[in-house]
Amino acid sequence: MAGLFNWVSQIASIALFNLRSMPQRVGSSVTAVIGIAGVVAVMVSVLSIAQGILSTMENSASPNNAIVLRSGATSEMMSIVVGDDARIIAEAPGLARGEGGALASPELFVIINLSKRSTGTDANVPLRGVTPQAPLVRDRFRLVEGRMFEWGRNEVIVGVGAQREFEGLDIGSSITVAKEDWPVVGIFESGGGLAETEIWVDALVLQPAYQRGNSYQAVYAKLESPQAFQSFKDALTSDPRLNVKSLRESEYYAEQSAVLYNLITGLGTLIAVIMGLGATFGALNTMYTAVSARAREIATLRALGFRSGPVVISVLFESLMLALLGGVIGAVLAWLAFDGFRAATLNWSSFSQVAFAFDVTPGLLALGVSFALLIGLVGGLFPAVRAARQPVSEALREQ
């Protein structure tokens, strides 16, 4: 017990002594802190882009909802569901019911060119033809400005993300489709989901404008409960009249975002690892410098009876403190600069734009700080061991 106490008090006194002498080494300590802060800031920012896209996709999915596509189609962009099939799907078991009957909304999905506000260049903006069931199927649909379009009229409503990212989507302006002007009459939200990047119009208005006859591309359905999905799916799969596949919304959106999410996460991780390596070299440099500057002090302590364990731990402690400081600064910088930062990119799966906000989550912050501590650990370990191993007599003689 006394031995342990002695050990701890040795660590504490060397660590304190180190910290007190830090002002003499401000330059190199600050360098290490800045290096680590830079790594963490870049890593957290890049990963927050991927997280933001993932959050948007997750916000789009409701556990009660399913989406039906032509079998073989990987997104609704490529799918076709003819009107008769849509009617059969609406009669399937397990669907929730509202005033207008089963909550199944056959929808059209096309894109139109609009200018991006940030660059002024063309972007593929999703234009969705919907039925009166569409707002009922989506729990989080809410008009925030203006009014709903009138069914059968050439009017559109616009998601808040689309309005923010693209030109000419404010209430009162209009989009040009099939040589007609379709005025924007309302702005809607949808819980931060994908629909917020879309423009909505009556499907019956969009069909003739795009020469689609009586066909749709996907059916969005609200089920009685998440458990009803299996029977709904089985009924559609076994119906010989249909050639469709049904997916839970959560599965569908996870698939839609997989390519983009993996690409950005992979790239972000790669950059962070390489940068982290750079910062580790920086931290090693700092700590070697710190240790060699104090070689004589450390040797004196050991000559006085301090053991090498506490010497190692105290050097590590200093390096971890610097790393922690750097990590926290980097994480906070990334959070201040990018949390909620809005952007839009092309989602390959649907060939259309998706607006999202960078999402610096507590998990990412923790990841950033942990990474910083790892750098501090590696950066401190080797110099610490060297300090402890150096023969006392040699170190005392050094200049």
User: Judged by CB under 8 A, does residue 63 bind other proteins?
Assistant: no
Q: Closer to other proteins at the Cβ: 64 or 353?
A: 353
- Of the candidates 41, 52, 50, the one whose C-alpha atom is nearest the C-alpha of residue 272 is 41
Per rule CB under 8 A, is residue 303 in the interface with other proteins? no
Residue among 46, 53, 147, 4 nearest 353 (CA): 53
Compute the half-sphere exposure of residue 255: CA atoms within 13 Å on the CB side of its CA. 13
In terms of CB distance, is 306 or 358 closer to other proteins? 358
Min dist CB 69 to other proteins, Å, is 10
By CB under 8 A, name the one of 16, 87, 93, 122 that touches other proteins: 122
How many angstroms separate the CA atoms of 174 and 143, rounded?
18
Tell me which residue has tokens 């009249």: 241
In the complex with other proteins, the residue whose CB is nearer, 15 or 365, is 365
Angle subtended at Cα 89 by Cα 83 and Cα 94, rounded to the nearest 5 degrees: 155
Residue 322 · residue 374 · CB < 8 Å = no
Angle at CA of residue 275, ends 270 and 277, nearest 5°: 100
* Cβ-based nearer residue to other proteins, 146 or 183: 183
Q: Is 22 in the site for other proteins (CB under 8 A)?
A: no
| 3-state SS class at 153 | coil
Tokens of 356: 């999202």
> 15 or 108: whose CB is closer to other proteins?
108
- Report if residue 38 touches other proteins, rule: CB under 8 A: yes
Q: Which residue in the set 6, 9, 113, 225 belongs to the binding site for other proteins (CB under 8 A)?
A: 113
Match 């002090």 to its residue by tokens: 297
Number of residues that bind other proteins (CB under 8 A): 59
SS3 assignment, position 174: strand
User: In this structure, which amino acid lies at residue 201?
Assistant: V
* Least distance from other proteins to the Cβ atom of residue 15, Å: 23
**Binding residue for other proteins, selected from 12, 22, 73, 143, defined by CB under 8 A:** 73
- Smallest separation, CB 3 to other proteins (Å): 34
By CB under 8 A, tell whether 177 contacts other proteins.
yes
Question: Under the criterion CB under 8 A, does residue 157 sit at the interface with other proteins?
Answer: no
**Interface residues for other proteins in 308-347 (CB under 8 A)?**
343-346
CA dist., res. 50 & res. 181, Å (int): 36
Task: Round to whole Å and give the CA distance between 256 and 19.
Answer: 51
Name the token pair of 44.
């957290």
Q: Site residues (CB under 8 A) for other proteins?
A: 27-28, 31, 34-35, 38-39, 41-42, 46, 72-75, 77-78, 110-113, 116, 118-119, 121-124, 177-179, 210, 243, 255, 258-259, 262-263, 266-267, 270-271, 274-275, 277-279, 281-282, 284-285, 288-289, 343-346, 348, 351, 353
